[in-house]
């Protein structure tokens, strides 16, 4: 039998849905007489203060509920599928795709390539535009689904087709024109590949993307991630220190030009470029409000500034009992965190912090971010080390909302193996200092995630 409607997974307590007697297993068929394709239709159709919701009860009975509510108020339902539709996979074969560089034998979900505009809106994922139809663009414009995050890579149509291994990839750039004409807010990303879309091509891309200002609020430039599992893939090489410096020079020159005309810096280099080039991170003002934290743009600057502010707030505070802890992180953040740990130890004589840089053996040493470290690497490299009474790990090492690392090792397994309790630091500099001092609770401040 053909599936009808969208099955309710959960009815939230004290919600409109609970008041109307809806139950798990019931299905929503339509709202105001219109069938629902996915979560966007559902949310859009619920904006009115009066709605008629067609329901198919699990008993087989159909009814229409007439509901008066506040405009925009949700019914309090969760569905079997968060999108209320199938997830759309990516049909490109990008030369830089990290999923193609994953080792075999990991959980199936890690090999799924999404290119879904709905996830761009809901979760901040980046899309290539190649998997979007005119109908998708129409709905984004009609529903004002913004911001939409776009992986541009290059504005050279022929080069984009080559990089994405998709003959329609160049033509897909025209969809950004439609979003711009409709004044939909966008953010952009350029995954930079050495000898492919850098140099003059990067200059061209940044120049072309400025035409989308101010709707295109920001563009991040990130270096391609290269694991040790690239057999049979396009021969990409890592950037050298000098080449990283050249990328920074290009971006900063454009920042000066764009800032003078538009009042924003617009294009940003991720933290990795500055660390690779051995240069000082930009000041906070250069990040235009940290629009691209999830792309590693300004994470360390924000973390450092938050930590300094937290230290200033704590001046005069005394740590009465001796406290010995350890912190483990990836190669990228290690030098910064080591300095921060030294500052905390200087302010609190009773505090001892053992800092450990965990090398990524699982994906390869060229992968330096903490978010791609595995439980096995952490256990293997910290076994037998001085860890003190607690081990602090950043939250981005774990799958969102879980206590599981990329390789399915759990926090509990790490604790058992290393014989030390593990505290997960919830991302910000304020939280980091609180965990160092053994204080409970978080600040609720915006978080940098490195």
**Residue 442 pLDDT level (bands cut at 50, 70, 90):** very low
Q: Is the pLDDT confidence value at 141 over 80?
A: yes
Of 50, 77, 44, nearest to 66 (Cα)?
A: 50
- pLDDT bin (cut points 50, 70, 90) of residue 443 is very low
Residue 273: HSE in the Cβ half-sphere, 13 Å Cα cutoff: 28
Token pair 């924000």 is at which residue? 302
- Superfamily of domain 99-296, CATH level 4: pyruvate-formate lyase- activating enzyme (3.80.30.10)
Domain 302-437 has CATH 3.40.50: yes
In the chain, pLDDT over 70 holds for what percent of residues? 91
* pLDDT for res 42: 86
Distance between CA atoms of 57 and 184, rounded to whole angstroms?
38
Summarised one tens digit per residue, pLDDT across range 199-242 is 999 999 999 999 999 999 999 999 999 988 888 899 999 999 99
pLDDT value for 154? 97
In this structure, are residues 430 and 306 in contact, taking their beta carbons and an 8 Å threshold? yes
Sequence-ordered list of residues with C-beta below 8 angstroms from that of 435, at least 6 positions apart, any chain:
390, 392, 423, 425
The DSSP line for 273-327 is HHHHHT-PPPPGGGGTTTTTGGGTSSHHHHHHHHHHHHHHHHTT----S-EEEEE
CATH 2.30.42.10 is the classification of domain 6-79: yes
d(CA 101, CA 94): 11
pLDDT at 112: 55
DSSP state of 396: G
> Domain residue spans in the chain?
6-79, 99-296, 302-437
What's the average model confidence in pLDDT over 144-162?
Answer: 94
In degrees and rounded to multiples of 5, residue 64 shows phi and psi of -120, 120
pTM of the model: 0.81
């Amino acid at each position: 039998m053909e599936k009808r409607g969208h099955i309710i997974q959960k009815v939230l307590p004290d919600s409109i849905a609970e008041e109307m007697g809806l139950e798990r297993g019931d299905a929503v068929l339509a709202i105001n007489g219109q069938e629902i394709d996915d979560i966007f239709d559902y949310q859009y159709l619920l904006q009115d203060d009066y709605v008629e919701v067609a329901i198919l009860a699990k008993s087989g009975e159909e009814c229409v509920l007439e509901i008066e509510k506040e405009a925009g108020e949700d019914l309090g339902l969760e569905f079997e599928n968060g999108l209320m539709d199938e997830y759309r996979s990516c049909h490109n074969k990008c030369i830089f795709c990290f999923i193609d560089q994953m080792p075999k034998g990991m959980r199936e979900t890690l090999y799924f390539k999404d290119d879904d505009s709905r996830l761009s809106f809901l979760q901040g994922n980046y899309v290539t535009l190649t998997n979007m139809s005119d109908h998708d663009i129409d709905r984004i414009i009609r529903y004002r689904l913004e911001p939409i995050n776009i992986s541009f890579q290059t504005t050279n149509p022929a080069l984009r087709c080559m990089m994405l291994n998709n003959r329609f990839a160049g033509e897909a750039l025209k969809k950004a024109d439609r979003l711009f004409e409709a004044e939909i807010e966008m953010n952009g990303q350029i995954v930079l590949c050495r000898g492919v879309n850098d140099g003059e091509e990067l200059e061209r891309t940044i120049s072309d993307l400025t035409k989308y200002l101010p709707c295109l609020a920001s563009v991040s430039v990130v270096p391609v991630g290269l694991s040790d599992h690239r057999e049979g893939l396009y021969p990409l090489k890592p950037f050298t220190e000098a080449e990283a410096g050249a990328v920074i020079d290009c971006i900063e020159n454009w920042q000066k030009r764009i800032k003078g005309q538009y009042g924003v810096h617009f294009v940003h280099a991720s933290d990795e470029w500055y660390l690779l080039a051995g240069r000082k991170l930009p000041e906070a003002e250069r990040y235009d409000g940290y629009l691209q934290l999830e792309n590693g743009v300004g994470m360390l600057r924000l973390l450092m500034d938050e930590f300094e502010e937290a230290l200033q707030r704590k001046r005069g505070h005394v740590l009465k009992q001796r406290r010995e802890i350890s912190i483990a992180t990836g190669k990228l953040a290690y030098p910064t965190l080591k300095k921060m740990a030294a500052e905390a130890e200087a302010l609190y004589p009773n505090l001892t912090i053992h800092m450990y840089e965990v090398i990524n053996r699982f994906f390869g040493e060229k992968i330096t971010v903490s978010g791609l470290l595995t439980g096995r690497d952490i256990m293997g490299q910290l076994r037998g080390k001085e860890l003190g009474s607690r081990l602090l790990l950043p939250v981005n090492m774990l799958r969102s909302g879980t206590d599981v690392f990329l390789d399915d090792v759990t926090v509990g397994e790490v604790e058992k193996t290393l014989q030390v309790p593990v505290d997960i630091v919830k991302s910000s500099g304020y939280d980091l200092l609180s965990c160092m001092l053994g204080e409970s609770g978080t600040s609720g401040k915006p978080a940098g995630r490195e």
